[in-house]
Every structure is written in C-alpha cells, then in structure tokens.
Structure 1
Amino acid sequence: MIVRKLIAAASTGLLLVTAGCGGSAPSGAAGDAAGSGSGPVRIGALHPVSGSMAVDGLQMRRGAQLAVEKINEAGGIASLGGRDVQLTTADTQGKPEIGQSEAQRLISGGAVGLVGTYQSSVSSNVSVVAERNEVPFVMDVTAADEIFQHGYRYSFRVQPGNGAIATSAAEFLTKVSEQAGKPVRKVAIMHEQTDFGTGAADAFTEAATDLGLEVAPRISYDATTASDFTSQITQVKASGADVLAVSGYYSDSLLIAQAINAVKPDLDAVWGVSNGAYDQPKFVSDAGPIGENYFSTNYHFDAQNPETRQLREEYQRRYGAPMRTGAVLAYDAVQTIAAGVEHAGSTDPVAVRNAIAKVKVDPLTVGDGPVRFGRDGENVNSAAVLMQIQNGRVKQVYPPRKAESDPDYSVAW
C-alpha cells in the first residue's frame, strides 16, 4: 500500500513520448523501454484535453500529475531504488480511434501502465490495445460495464460502473421519496446516446422497474450536437412523470436544466444518474438558482476524508479552480499503478499487472474500503453516493453513513 503524505508543490513537466503508433509492442516492451534499472517509471495518461470534454480531461490530467508528484516527493518507487515516476500524456480528443492509436504510442514509448479515459467508448478501444500488448489499464472514469464482460485480464476500473450506480440511483430515489412522504411512481429518463448514457439508462430502467416504478418516456439525444432541450422537456411535462432522471455529460446536462427552468414541468425531483454535471461545483456556479436542490447519484470524492480536502485545496491553489471528482479518480488510478510497480519490484508490465490484481490502495474517493480488484477487474469496494445541491453547495446526503446533511425532497419544479 502506498503511504500518503501532505502534497507539496513541485515542477510539473509533462513528457510527451514520440514513438510509432503501429501494431502491438512485444510483451514486456514497455518495461524494457522504461529501463530495467534506471530512468523514470512511465505511466501513460489518456484524456480528452481538446474538444467538448476538454475541461474534464484537463482536470484529470492534472489529477494524475499531482499523484506522480506525491509519489516522487515520498521517495519514488522504493523497491526500484527510489526511481521517480513520470507521467506521459496523450490527448484522445474524445475520439475512440485516436485513443486507440495514442494508447499504442504510449505503450511503445515505455509506459508500464495506462490510466484514462473519461469516455467509455474511448476506454473500450484502449482496453483492446492494453490486452493485446499485455499492459495494465486502470480506468479512472469509465462507466460502461460491457468492457468487463470480455474476460480481459489487463483492464481494471476504480469507479463503480453503470450498473452499480444506476441500481443505487433507483434504490436511493425510492427510499428518499418514501421518507419524504412523496413516493415516486413514474420516472422519465433522458440520456446521451453513446455507450455511457445508453448503458446508464438501461441499468436504471431495469433497477427502477424491479422496484415497481414506471419508466417513461425514455428520450435519447446526441450530446455533441444538442443545443436546446425545450421540446424534450415539454414531452416530459406532458408525460406526468414525478421525477426526471438524466444521464449525460456536462454541457448537455446544463442545457437540460435551463430547459426545465423554462418549461417548468411538475416534477418532485431532478435525479442525475452517472451525470457529468449535477455534482460539479462548476454547475452550481453556471446554473445558479435554477440548479438548487438537484440530486445526483454518482462516484464522488470523499468529502469527509482530510487527505481529499488537502488534495483539493492544493489543486485550487495551483490551478484556481475546484478539483472535480474525475481528477481525484485519476489521482487514485495513478496511485494504484504505482502501488503495483512497488509491489512487483519491476517495470515489466505483466508483473505490474499481476501486482495490481493483489494490491490495496487507500482511495480519496468514496468507497467501502481500499481499492481492491476482483477477478473481473472491478473495484470490489467502489460505491455510489447521492448528492444534492443545497444552498449553493454540493453535499453528500445519502446513504446516512456518507451524508454531510439530510436530503431535501420538498422542492418541486
């Protein structure tokens, strides 16, 4: 296990490794390229730092870099004589084919492991590259569960997946609404149409139906082209749904909130499911009063962990913006690969993979224990939490063991 210490400022030089993007590298090539006894231990980070997802992608790259700095400040990889860790980065541009070629480039350039990618469709392609090259891929933000149904040995995931989050979202909704004396009966759902949003909607629909709820209408959309959701929210209003569930990215989810404010459907709650906006401080500031009381079931940084608070304070000081949960997950993912290298005492990717499968790492995100992977590569201690915007702040409100305050289900739209 990696022992964490206070984060101190350090230089943030990021090395872009220039190497070919062709076919598979020979097994072990990454470790050999990194050097068998000297030079930095390279960890590759793939995130969208250009395009529509660039704000989150840059956050995650910075979170990964902070983890590298923390490891080096603590003495580097002790089992390798104190060798430093170095982050090698790639911009996926949010495109699966670019993520795939960039993953190959980073592996050919010596990465002992990869973290990423924020988008499930990109991670799906990168997981194939990681498997072919026998290099571990620790996913920080990737919601789709399908990746873990192929029997891959080199893919791991820190966050809970769509199924786990959506099931929790349906259970939390039922319990919170019943406790408020306004039990939910009918839920409309809007979701972006890629693997991420569709998977979340599928899982939520199944879980909600099993709990006796009606889920209708179900409305999908293209997050990359959508500019107004007035007609969709008008459809939700006409349906008579008690609650609107939303599974989308940041920009589209903000537009949906603006349409809700304009159309004013008779809703008891707006309920984010793996939503990329409704638990973000930026949404609080961008949406203002219209976002007050929005709920969101998702992974989240552990607001009750002093180390998490220290990390977020350092991020705010350095970059002048609140640190999002995705950046904290990227931090945890890098720490996990470094723990694997430490445990393996080697930069051979196969040895690192085998070590990652066994290590336990204390996360700075909400969980039911240390990051620990099952045979399928899933973090067995990952957990979702319900959040709500209350008085201009995102607060954890359910389950009670993780709550900063009680959920407020009294406000209708």
Structure 2
Amino acid sequence: MKNNTTDRLVRSRHRIGRRDFLAGAAALGVASAGFPAVLRAQSETVKIGLIHPVTGFISFSGTQCRTGAQMAIDDINAAGGIKSMGGAMLEAMLGDSQGKPEIGAQEVSKMVEAGVAGFVAGYSSAISLATSQEAAKTNTPHVVDVGVSDQITSRGLANTFRFAPGYGKVAEIAVANLDTINKTAGSPAKSAMIVHEESLFGTGTAKLLSEKLPGIGIEVLDVIKHANPTRDFTNIALQIKSKQPDLIIPANYYNEYVLLARTLQQQQVEAKGIYSVLGGAASSYQFVNEYPEAAEQIMDCNHWFDPKSDTALARKKAAEAKGVIYTYEVFLAYNAVAFLADAIERAGSTDKDAVIAALAGSTWDQHGMPYGSTKMENGQNMGAQPVNTQVQNGAIEVIFPKEFASADAVFPMS
C-alpha cells in the first residue's frame, strides 16, 4: 500500500541493486554468502525528509519545492553521494502537508520513526514553524527552504536552520531600495496600499511594511487582507482605484498574485508603480510568459539567484531542459538540500548532534545566490539577502543590488 510519507524517490541509476548484485554473483559462480558486508553497504542510504504542500491551494509552489529538492538529490547522488560515508546515496522520503501545519507536523513524526536523517521543509511560514517544532522534539536537523517568518529562527531551536533571508531583512532591504528608486525619480510616490494574503507570511510582511514606509515619506492609505484562496479581486481592485495610491504593494502566493495583477489590468487601475515584496508571482517566468501585459514593469523584492553566477545559470539550464520553470521555490529548495548534504558530508555520519554542529558552522558557498559567505547565527544565514527585480520587455531583470544588476529601474511605470 502506497504511503505518501514514505513514497521514496528512485535511487541513483548508478547504484547496484541487491537483485542485480546477486544475479551477477550467481553468473560468476560466487556465493553471495561470502559478501555480507558488501551487501549491507549497498543497502545503506541517507534518508532526507521532504515535506511540502503538493496538494491544496499552494500546491504549485509546493510541487516546485519538491522538484528543486529532488534535483539536488539526483545531482549529489550522480556525483558520488556522501563520500565521507563511503558514497552513501541520498534517499528522499516524500510527505504532503496539504497546506496544513498540523499535517506537516504529522509527516515529521512518521518520518522520524522511519529513520530520517534530516528534513527540508515546508514552503510556507506556518508549515515551516510546525515541522521544525516537531523535528526539534527528537533533535532532528531541519532546514527551511522558503518560509520567511522570523519566528522560525527566533525561537532558539538548535535543530532549525534557514539558508535564505527572513521577511525582516527582506522588508528592510525592500524599503531602502524603494526609497532609492523613488528619490532617483524625483520622489513621485508619496502614498501606498498594501494587499496581502491572510497567513503568517502576508500578515507579517504587511505589518513590517506599514511600520517602515512612513519613514521614507510614503503614507500607507490602507492595508487589505484577503483569504486563501481568493477567486475574485474585483472589489479589492475597485477599492484601490477609488483611493488612487501612488504604489500598490502586493504580498501573496502565486495564484492570488496572478489574479490580482490581471484584475488590476482589467479594471484599468493606474499607479506609478506596483512594488511587490515577496510577491508570489512577480519574479516568476511562468507569470511573465503567460500574462506579459499584466506583468510588465512590475518590481519585486524577493529571493533570486545571482544572474552572473555560472553555478546558478547551469542549474537553471538543467532545470529548463527538463521542462521545469526555474522559480524561486526550485532553487531555494535545491540549496536547502545541498546545504544539508554538505553538513552530513562534513560530519561524516548522520549523528544528529554532529550534523547540527556542521550546519551551524557552515561556510558553504556552492549556492549560486547573491549571498556572499555563509554565516549562521541562531539558525539564520546572515549572508542571505533578497534582490530587486523588474519585468522589462518580457524579461526579468535584476535592478538591485548594483553589483548583481542587469538593468536600471524603470519608474514611474510608463
């Protein structure tokens, strides 16, 4: 009977299966009983728990995370697995949180019983909080791939790590970059409205922005919360249209972001700029390709790869060759797995304390991100930072920081 918790990936094609080994031994006239140690070594794997919302309202993003994580496992196994453990292969244990924190926590408990060495989870902040808390009960290493709530790392859980930035740092950089963009254009933006989804991610981001925007001379006219899922943004678009803010600032997941942007276009809502902060679709090739007019000139402060990194570009090319849209979920989950695998490699075992110590002391730099050196403090990578992107002529360009930029900002929107 198939169980989604223990639904395992096919192991590396280069590994010798037990049946193949026995068949080969028989063909050579060798008694398999003479090789018990070899057989045991062949069966050893390092189990990595991947828990994402692959069904439910955020299933697109959860599936993208799972895809990125599986790509990392495949690449690591193809390169020889965990060499310090004799070439042990990574084996994925797949769990579906269904977008619900309590189910994510249940998946953790089941996987711990099945011998998982560590977790990569859980896309949303609420799910990541639940999965990391449950993993902490058994001191099992847990790497958060996307979840941005600062509560994830501020609780003091020794087992929990996040390689990407949290929304505190994202909001800080987003506001500073917006101030620069606005002042460079002669300060045309003086007001904003924030539209955010109802969970911990959207609510926390909106609160931080509401506190910081007045400090750069931008009045927040209104903050509008919407449910997940939302299938009609007409009323919200009309509210925005009636108040005529200079800036519209969305913070929501992919499906709702796309629908909001399309509704704004259909209702002919005009603004000097749409400036997303952790926008679920603003920095997405799928959104840009499917709805180019709605996406054009939207700015976003979000997770993004270094466009000048050979490592990042090679992974992007490999993903696209498989038909995978290279979204932030893909490369953040890939890096979360690679970061955990590097710690296991340096620990030389799956001993939980040893792996946690290796994660805490990591200086891993094979990430292809605009991060600089990895430095963990209380589970948070202090080198991590977002970038600002803007859709220009159907392409996603980096506009900040300048050392990673591929274009200058276009503001106000034309």
TM bucket normalised to smaller: 0.7 to 0.9
Provide the C-alpha distance between the structure 2 equivalents of 1:296 and 1:327, rounded to a whole number of angstroms: 18
- Aligned counterpart for 1:284 among listed residues 260, 275, 288: 288
8 Å contact 2:311–2:366 — kept in the other structure?
A: no
Measured at CA, do residues 167 and 138 of structure 1 come closer, stay the same or move farther in structure 2, by a change above 3 Å? same
Secondary structure of the corresponding residue to residue 190 of structure 1: strand
Q: Identity of paired residues, percent?
A: 32
Q: Does 1:89 align with 2:106?
A: no
Q: Residue type matched to 1:88 in 2?
A: M
Instruction: For residues 260-288 of structure 1, give each alpha carbon's deviation from its aligned partner in whole angstroms, at most 9, with x where no partner exists.
Output: 11222331100111111000001112222
Instruction: For residues 359-379 of structure 1, give each alpha carbon's deviation from its aligned partner in whole angstroms, at most 9, with x where no partner exists.
Output: 2212535333133311x1111
Q: Does 1:330 align with 2:337?
A: no
Q: Does 1:227 align with 2:258?
A: no
Provide the C-alpha distance between the structure 2 equivalents of 1:129 and 1:403, rounded to a whole number of angstroms: 40
Q: RMSD of the alignment, in Å?
A: 2.0
Query: Alpha-carbon deviation of 1:95?
Result: 0.9
Provide the C-alpha distance between the structure 2 equivalents of 1:400 and 1:276, rounded to a whole number of angstroms: 23
Secondary structure of the corresponding residue to residue 331 of structure 2: helix
Query: Alpha-carbon deviation of 1:198?
Result: 0.4
8 Å contact 1:363–1:371 — kept in the other structure?
A: no
Q: Which residue number in structure 1 is paired with residue 55 of structure 2?
A: 50
Q: Residue type matched to 1:384 in 2?
A: P
Structure 1 runs (4+) greater than 4 angstroms displaced: 9-13, 35-38
8 Å contact 1:294–1:388 — kept in the other structure?
A: yes
Question: Following superposition of structure 1 onto structure 2, how do residues 117-266 of structure 1 map, counting pairs within 5 Å?
Answer: 117-224=122-229, 226-266=230-270
Provide the C-alpha distance between the structure 2 equivalents of 1:12 and 1:266, rounded to a whole number of angstroms: 56
Instruction: For residues 5-57 of structure 1, give each alpha carbon's deviation from its aligned partner in whole angstroms, at most 9, with x where no partner exists.
Output: xxxx96599xxxxxxxxxxxxxxxxxxxxx99960111111111112222222
Query: May I ask how many residue pairs the two structures share in their alignment?
Result: 380
- Aligned counterpart for 2:348 among listed residues 326, 345, 349: 345
Secondary structure of the corresponding residue to residue 289 of structure 1: helix
Q: Residue type matched to 1:289 in 2?
A: E
Q: Which residue number in structure 1 is paired with residue 361 of structure 2?
A: 358
Structure 2 alignment gaps of length 5 or more: 1-10, 16-39
Q: Residue type matched to 2:62 in 1?
A: G
Q: Which residue number in structure 1 is paired with residue 31 of structure 2?
A: none
8 Å contact 1:166–1:200 — kept in the other structure?
A: yes
Q: Which residue number in structure 1 is paired with residue 307 of structure 2?
A: 303
Q: Which residue number in structure 2 is paired with residue 67 of structure 1?
A: 72
Measured at CA, do residues 301 and 70 of structure 1 come closer, stay the same or move farther in structure 2, by a change above 3 Å? same
Provide the C-alpha distance between the structure 2 equivalents of 1:210 and 1:180, rounded to a whole number of angstroms: 18
Query: Alpha-carbon deviation of 1:195?
Result: 0.2
Measured at CA, do residues 230 and 57 of structure 1 come closer, stay the same or move farther in structure 2, by a change above 3 Å? same
Measured at CA, do residues 308 and 219 of structure 1 come closer, stay the same or move farther in structure 2, by a change above 3 Å? same
TM-score w.r.t. length of structure 1: 0.88
Q: Which residue number in structure 2 is paired with residue 397 of structure 1?
A: 399
Q: Which residue number in structure 2 is paired with residue 388 of structure 1?
A: 390
Query: Alpha-carbon deviation of 1:324?
Result: 1.1
Q: Residue type matched to 2:310 in 1?
A: P
Q: Does 1:369 align with 2:372?
A: yes
Query: Alpha-carbon deviation of 1:184?
Result: 2.1
Whose radius of gyration is greater, 1 or 2?
A: 2
Larger relative contact order, structure 1 or 2 (CA cutoff 8 Å, min sep 6)? 1
Q: Residue type matched to 1:66 in 2?
A: M
8 Å contact 1:302–1:364 — kept in the other structure?
A: no
Provide the C-alpha distance between the structure 2 equivalents of 1:121 and 1:321, rounded to a whole number of angstroms: 26
Provide the C-alpha distance between the structure 2 equivalents of 1:100 and 1:36, rounded to a whole number of angstroms: 31
Provide the C-alpha distance between the structure 2 equivalents of 1:343 and 1:105, rounded to a whole number of angstroms: 27
Measured at CA, do residues 80 and 151 of structure 1 come closer, stay the same or move farther in structure 2, by a change above 3 Å? same
Provide the C-alpha distance between the structure 1 equivalents of 2:82 and 2:12, rounded to a whole number of angstroms: 17
Provide the C-alpha distance between the structure 2 equivalents of 1:115 and 1:370, rounded to a whole number of angstroms: 21
Secondary structure of the corresponding residue to residue 133 of structure 1: coil
TM-score w.r.t. length of structure 2: 0.88
Measured at CA, do residues 188 and 12 of structure 1 come closer, stay the same or move farther in structure 2, by a change above 3 Å? farther
Structure 1 alignment gaps of length 5 or more: 1-8, 14-34
Provide the C-alpha distance between the structure 1 equivalents of 2:348 and 2:63, rounded to a whole number of angstroms: 31
8 Å contact 1:37–1:80 — kept in the other structure?
A: no
Provide the C-alpha distance between the structure 2 equivalents of 1:38 and 1:361, rounded to a whole number of angstroms: 29
Provide the C-alpha distance between the structure 1 equivalents of 2:42 and 2:353, rounded to a whole number of angstroms: 17
Query: Alpha-carbon deviation of 1:112?
Result: 1.1
Measured at CA, do residues 368 and 140 of structure 1 come closer, stay the same or move farther in structure 2, by a change above 3 Å? same
Secondary structure of the corresponding residue to residue 220 of structure 2: strand
Secondary structure of the corresponding residue to residue 174 of structure 1: helix
Query: Alpha-carbon deviation of 1:249?
Result: 0.3
